Amino acid sequence: MVSRTVLCALILLSCSFFLPCCAGADETSVTTYVVSPERKEGSTLLSKVRVKGADRRSSSVSGEGKAEGPGRVLGDAPVVPSFPSALVTEMRSWSNPDYSRVSVTLDREVKFSYHKLRRDHTVHLPERVYIDISGARVAPGVKDIPIGDGLLKMARVGQFRPDVVRVVLDIESIKEYKIFPLSDPFRIIIDVRGERRTEISRLEESIQSLDTELDMRKEPSEENNVLPGKGKPGKVRRIVIDAGHGGHDPGAVGPGGMREKDIVLEIAKKLARKIRGETGIDVVMTRSTDIFLPLEERTAIANKVNADLFVSIHANASLNKAAAGIETYYLNLAKTDKAARVAARENNTSLEKVGLLQSILFDLMANYKINDSARLADDVQKSLCDRLSKKYAGIRNLGVKQGPFYVLVGATMPSILVETAFISNEHDAALLESQEYQDAAASGILAGIRNYIKGLH
């Protein structure tokens, strides 16, 4: 039988193993997001806490594919979940020399916190950011991701404790980072930015070799190059066109089963052809076929290819069948209930989740080009409505609005979401189904982009 003295010593040794590491520790910023797994509408963003110079000791979780680094904040009791563990089902990344996005997907909403540590020379650990996910397990097949983009060396995931999953980002050189949750499915998004060290011209090779799974292929009859005789405007070299929804997500459904995903893809393809043919500006489409892309991936594509503009094409919908018209959005806090409802629909989530995103946008808005996005939205809205009202009677200009749209969160360039008409309105739906209207809408959006570009000179 083990003596009481030996047993106590073993307990103390076990406890010290999980204390956080102090060597080289930076001021640690801890933000905890709590979303009850049992009551999803009870989402709350807790306040940010700063911990300076806390007494810490080293600890790690060793083994293949396991995360290593500091443990929990002192005084933070181990979490023993009273509900089944959430599963980390996927970890993905997108990057270029001055931007990286890592997305961690779970099968339900959870509590998590994040921390940043300076490089630890004594044990040869790099500077790192880590995220602790409470009440979670790593699903089979989820592996570490080598990144090596000059900002991050690797994203690692491991079972830190039986009830805690730890994600660690090994840092090479970064300027800043933001971490925030998205819902349905629940994802933890980590955006990392650094100083641009590579000219856009040197990025062409990496852009051409982007993963085909992102569906950034050219159409067979077109090349994504400057056409003969065309010159690129100096301040806008590349535009990303995003056709909303796709794959198993049909978007809004109109009369006769008309699907938003099909209509907006046609408008997006027409717009891409017009931009290439009439301006010579490079165009990347987030999707050119009927595939599903998570909303955070669409923005990541735009950041990865160093786009100068991001335009997401959609068709509106409302329970009020009389609602009709055109409106253009840019990212900001929703000022009206209607704008919040539109954001909830396009985010494929609830009004409660939109409220959570609004609360964390205050922390995220510093890098967004809000004024430029508002100006782009204004130019596109005016030109689109002017072009369509000359051909079609009764076009309603609903103006420029702002709202918390997932697809725009994290974009490093002026970004807008265009609602081309109401698919739920019988008259608007008939227009959307028309090839002529689709073509005119694409021409109107292009005219707005041209006007925006002219204003840059």
In one letter, which amino acid is 390?
A: K
Residue 60 has pLDDT above 50, yes or no: no
Residues of the chain above pLDDT 90, percent? 60
Query: What pLDDT shows up at residue 16?
Result: 32
Strand order in the sheet with 86-96: 136-138, 86-96, 99-106, 187-193, 176-182
Query: What pLDDT shows up at residue 209?
Result: 38
**CA–CA dist 294, 249 (Å, integer):** 10
Q: How confident is the model at residue 379 (pLDDT cuts 50, 70, 90)?
A: very high
Query: What pLDDT shows up at residue 364?
Result: 66
Tokens of 408: 């725009």
Mean pLDDT of 372-391: 97
pTM score, two decimals?
0.76
pLDDT digits (tens, 9 = 90+) for 427-450: 999 999 999 999 999 999 999 999
Q: HSE of 148 in the Cβ direction (CA atoms, 13 Å)?
A: 3
Q: How confident is the model at residue 8 (pLDDT cuts 50, 70, 90)?
A: very low
Q: How far is CA 100 from CA 151, 196, 203, 306, 412, in A?
A: 7, 12, 15, 12, 12
Residue 369 has pLDDT above 90, yes or no: no
Whether the upstream peptide bond of residue 404 has omega within 30° of 0, thus cis, is: no
Query: What pLDDT shows up at residue 27?
Result: 40
Mean pLDDT of 21-43: 39
| Mean pLDDT rounded to a whole number for the chain | 79
pLDDT digits (tens, 9 = 90+) for 157-211: 999 999 999 999 999 998 889 999 998 899 999 999 886 554 433 344 344 434 4
Query: What pLDDT shows up at residue 318?
Result: 95
Nearest by Cα to 164 from 44, 50, 61, 22: 61
Mapped onto helix, strand or coil, the DSSP state of residue 240 is: strand
pLDDT digits (tens, 9 = 90+) for 110-157: 999 999 988 777 877 778 999 999 999 999 999 999 999 999 999 999
Mean pLDDT of 403-407: 92
Mean pLDDT of 367-387: 92
Asked if 351 and 338 count as a contact pair (C-beta separation under 8 A), the reply is: no
Mapped onto helix, strand or coil, the DSSP state of residue 177 is: strand
Mean pLDDT of 267-289: 97
**CA–CA dist 169, 153 (Å, integer):** 7
Asked if 157 and 61 count as a contact pair (C-beta separation under 8 A), the reply is: no
Mapped onto helix, strand or coil, the DSSP state of residue 138 is: strand
Q: What is the DSSP pairing of strand 187-193 with strand 176-182?
A: antiparallel
Mean pLDDT of 274-303: 96
Mean pLDDT of 376-403: 97
Q: Which residue ranges form the domains of the chain, and what is each CATH number?
A: 20-193 (2.60.40.3500), 200-454 (3.40.630.40)
Place of tokens 């023993």: 80
Three-point CA angle 410, 412, 414, nearest 5°: 110
195/406: higher pLDDT: 406
